[in-house]
Each structure stands twice: as C-alpha cells, then as structure tokens.
Amino acid sequence: MQRLILATLLGLSATLPLTGCVPVVVGGAATGVIMADDRRSSNAFMGDQEIEFKAAHRLREATTAADNVHVNFTSYNQRLLITGEAPSAELKARIEEIGKGVPSVKEVFNELVIAPPTSAGTRASDSYLTTKVKARFLEDKRFGANHVKVVTENGVVFLMGLVRRDEGDAAAEVAARTTGVTRVVKVFEYIN
C-alpha cells in the first residue's frame, strides 16, 4: 500500500510542470488516497475537518492571550477530543462547552489538563512521538494504520477511529510499546 501511494504521488508530480500547483495537486491526491481507505464516509471525513475548524474559531473568539490556554480539537466521526492545558477547572469546563456547542458534534471527550501550556519543545517532541507511533502502525499487520488517528499531548497518546475491538487493542499495544509514550488513552468507536 505504501509503495502504491508513493508511486501514485511520484507519477503525479512527474507529469505536472514544476510550479506552485504541484503541492496542491499532490496533497489533494494524498488526501484522496487516505479517504479511500478511511471507514468514514467522505461527508463524515469533511465534516470532522469542519468541526475542528469551527471549534478552534469559537475558542479564539471566546478566549484571550491572558487566558493562557493551549487547546487542540480533534474530531473523528463527529466525536470531539479536546487535549491540551488550561489554567483552571472553570476554563476547562468553558472550553468543553465550546466544543459541545459546535453543530454536528455527537460526543465530547475533554482531556484538558489543568496546568500551564506546554513548551514549544514539548510540542515538537509530541509531534515526533506521533510520527513514531504511526510508523510503528505501518509495520503492524493486525489493523489498517489509516483506521487509527493518533494525537499526542505531553507524552500521552490518544487513539481515535472506527475499529473492531481487536484492532483497537492491537493499536493500543503498539502505541504503549513505543519509546517515549507515557500513557495511551483509547477514544475509539467500536464496530462489529
């Protein structure tokens, strides 16, 4: 599958003139390949992106720099995961209400930690950890790597997706064995 994706992307880039349009077309092709292997409908896939955008926009409107928050919204099949840091329980609850107020959100998982925002270094480390977990998913043949979305916050890995229970357990096992992961939280929606 990886070779097919790579060959498709290389083929597309080789047939296009070398202009600023290449990244857009190649990025669109990659999105199409990912969507083809996604268990969500294309409408649900696009709806999740819209939920994330609207939640972030509403947060920006409702908070100021003085609120000192670091918040990430991740939606998968209309289930919204909120991660990051907030300075108080009151602000954590207010952010959850913002998420619940976004149209189409079916369920909210508020995993905000009451703490100062993480540093840029910690966030870079989290991005690297997410990449490591995803790479290990590609090596494991018990589940489709594209069926599991990975979010990392301060060493904690959150797993989302539409999976069978055995797939979710396998993904959690692989993530937990990845060096640097301090904890794994499953936020899966299970299918038969």
Please state which of the ranges 17-26, 90-99, 166-175 shows the lowest mean pLDDT. 17-26
Residue among 99, 94, 73 at smallest CA distance from 84: 73
Domains of the chain, residue spans = 42-114, 120-190
In this prediction the pTM is 0.81
Q: Is-same-fold flag (42-114; 120-190)?
A: yes
For the record, the structure tokens of 53 come out as 């955008």
For the record, the structure tokens of 6 come out as 């790579």
**Topology of the domain comprising 120-190:** Histidine-containing Protein; Chain: A; (3.30.1340)
**Residue 6 has what pLDDT?**
40
CA 130/CA 134 separation, integer angstroms: 6
The CATH number of 42-114, from 1.10.20.10, 3.30.1340.30, 3.40.50.300, 3.60.20.10, is 3.30.1340.30
Contact 93, 39 (CB under 8 A): no
pLDDT digits (tens, 9 = 90+) for 44-72: 999 999 999 999 999 999 999 889 999 99
pLDDT digits (tens, 9 = 90+) for 74-107: 999 999 999 999 999 999 999 999 999 999 999 9
